């Protein structure tokens, strides 16, 4: 199991639960590293059911949104499913303004999201 610096990865049944380590996801280098760690879950670890929890996240830059869009494409390209949960209202508003709430499967709590797989 590779060690991750930007994400905390656990498994609940068949679902890979990803939590962000950083509260503010802003700097370019950190976002590049975050993207690489997320993509490796699909490309190297063969994860098909991924739940991204925004539990600890206070702020997310638009560059980080780009990584999530790419992750969604990668997961769909292997017939997998990506869901998100525990998104703060301020961050959810960004998803709504950018219409990404229509792209991503966003759930309230982690348990609800896991049962939706």
Taking the C-alpha atoms of 68, 60, 91 and 100 in order, what is their torsion angle to the nearest 10 degrees? -30
Structure tokens at 44: 């190297």
pTM of structure: 0.95
Domain boundaries, the chain: 7-115
pLDDT tens-digit readout, 46-101: 999 999 999 999 999 999 999 999 999 999 999 999 999 999 999 999 999 999 99
pLDDT band at 3 (very low <50, low <70, confident <90, very high): confident
**CATH code, 7-115:** 3.30.750.24
Q: What order of strands is seen across the sheet that includes strand 49-53?
A: 7-12, 15-20, 49-53, 81-85, 105-106
pLDDT tens-digit readout, 76-91: 999 999 999 999 999 9
Q: Is the pLDDT of residue 2 over 80?
A: no
Q: Is the pLDDT of residue 15 over 70?
A: yes
Distance CA(60)–CA(8), nearest Å, equals 17
H-helix or E-strand spanning residue 112: helix 110-115
Structure tokens at 80: 């997998």
């Amino acid at each position: 199991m590779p060690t991750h610096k930007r994400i905390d990865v656990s498994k609940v049944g068949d679902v890979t639960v990803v939590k962000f380590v950083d509260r503010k996801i802003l700097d370019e280098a950190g976002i590049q590293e975050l993207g690489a760690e997320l993509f490796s879950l699909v490309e190297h670890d063969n994860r098909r059911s991924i739940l991204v929890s925004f539990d600890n996240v206070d702020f997310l830059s638009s560059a980080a949104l780009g990584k999530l869009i790419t992750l969604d494409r990668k997961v769909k390209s292997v017939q997998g499913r990506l869901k998100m949960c525990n998104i703060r209202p301020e961050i959810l508003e960004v998803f709504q303004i950018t219409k990404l709430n229509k792209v991503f499967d966003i759930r309230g709590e982690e348990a609800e999201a896991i049962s939706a797989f």
